[in-house]
C-alpha cells in the first residue's frame, strides 16, 4: 500500500502518507515509520530530506574515462585500426568491493589475435603492461597500486558503450569479468557476491544482458547462482 501511494507521487511527507493509509487501515506513526525504514533498507524508497520521501531511483552506471585512458585507447586504435577495443578502469571495480582496496590498472581488451602485438607495442611505448596475467603472475609481480595496463582478449559481442570516441565496458560486463578472469582471482567467491549486491543497490543492472554475456564466457550458471544467493 505504501509503494502504491509512492508510485503516484514524486515525493510525499509522512503526514500525507498517513492520511492515505489511515483511510484504509489503522496504523500508528511508529508502525508506519517502521515500514518506511524497512522499504528504505530494501532500496525501494528513498529519504529525500528530513520528513520527505520518494520512490528509490537507481542511478545509471557511467564508466570512468580519464584523459590517460583516452590517450591509451586512441594510440592503440590508431596503430591497430582493424581490431576491436574495449577499455575500463580498475576504479570501476573497487567502488563495489566489500573489502576496499586500490586498483590503478587499466584493462585493455582487444581482438584475441592481436593481444600479443598490442602488448609489445605498449612495451615499446614505455607503458608498464602485462599480457593476460595468470594467478601466479598477479600474486608475485603485479602491483595494482601502480599505474599499469593489463592486456586481455576481448570476447565477441561483449557489452560496451561508446563515450567520447572510446568503447568502455558496461557494468554487466565488469561483473561477469570479475568472476571469469584469472587476474581477478582475489575477488572471486564471496567478494564477487558482495560486489554484485553492492552494484545492484546503486545501479540498474540489465540481468538478461549480463546473463547473455556470461553465457558467451561459459559463466551463466555461476552468475545465476550468485543472483539467486542475493535474492
- Structural domain boundaries in the chain: 2-55, 67-230
The fold of the 2-55 domain, in CATH, is Arc Repressor Mutant, subunit A (1.10.10)
CB 108 within 8 A of CB 151: yes
Which is more confidently placed, 69 or 9?
69
Question: What local confidence, expressed as pLDDT, does residue 211 receive?
Answer: 95
pLDDT digits (tens, 9 = 90+) for 116-151: 999 999 999 999 999 999 999 999 999 999 999 999
Give the bridge partners for 167, in sequence order. 162
Q: Out of 3.30.310, 1.10.760, 2.60.40, 3.30.460, select the CATH number for domain 67-230.
A: 3.30.460
Q: Who contacts 73 (Cβ-Cβ below 8 Å, separation ≥6)?
A: 85, 87, 108, 165, 166, 167
pLDDT digits (tens, 9 = 90+) for 193-225: 999 988 887 888 888 999 999 999 999 999 999
The rounded distance, in Å, linking the Cα atoms of 87 and 106 is 7
Q: Which CA distances in Å does 207 have to 48, 117, 141, 167, 196? A: 28, 34, 35, 21, 11
Tell me if residue 66 falls in helix, strand or coil: coil
Amino acid at each position: 500500500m505504501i509503494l502504491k501511494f509512492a508510485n503516484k507521487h514524486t515525493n510525499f511527507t509522512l503526514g500525507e502518507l498517513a492520511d492515505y493509509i489511515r483511510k484504509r487501515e489503522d496504523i500508528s506513526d511508529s508502525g508506519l515509520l517502521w515500514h518506511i525504514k524497512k522499504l528504505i533498507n530494501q532500496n525501494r524508497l528513498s529519504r529525500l530530506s528530513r520528513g520527505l520521501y520518494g520512490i528509490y531511483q537507481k542511478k545509471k552506471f557511467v564508466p570512468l574515462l580519464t584523459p590517460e585512458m583516452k590517450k591509451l585507447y586512441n594510440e592503440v586504435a590508431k596503430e591497430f585500426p582493424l581490431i576491436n577495443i574495449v577499455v575500463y578502469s580498475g576504479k570501476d571495480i573497487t567502488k563495489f568491493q566489500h573489502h576496499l582496496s586500490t586498483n590503478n590498472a587499466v584493462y585493455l581488451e582487444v581482438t584475441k589475435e592481436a593481444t600479443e602485438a598490442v602488448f609489445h607495442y605498449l612495451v615499446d611505448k614505455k607503458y608498464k603492461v602485462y599480457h593476460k596475467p595468470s594467478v601466479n603472475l598477479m600474486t608475485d609481480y603485479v602491483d595494482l597500486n601502480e599505474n599499469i595496463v593489463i592486456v586481455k582478449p576481448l570476447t565477441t559481442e561483449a557489452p560496451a558503450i561508446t563515450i567520447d570516441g572510446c568503447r568502455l565496458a558496461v557494468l554487466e560486463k565488469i561483473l561477469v569479468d570479475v568472476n571469469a578472469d584469472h587476474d581477478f582471482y582475489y575477488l572471486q567467491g564471496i567478494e564477487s557476491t558482495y560486489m554484485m549486491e553492492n552494484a545492484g543497490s546503486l545501479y540498474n543492472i540489465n540481468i538478461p544482458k549480463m546473463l547473455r554475456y556470461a553465457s558467451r564466457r561459459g559463466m551463466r550458471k555461476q552468475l545465476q547462482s550468485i543472483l539467486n544467493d542475493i535474492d
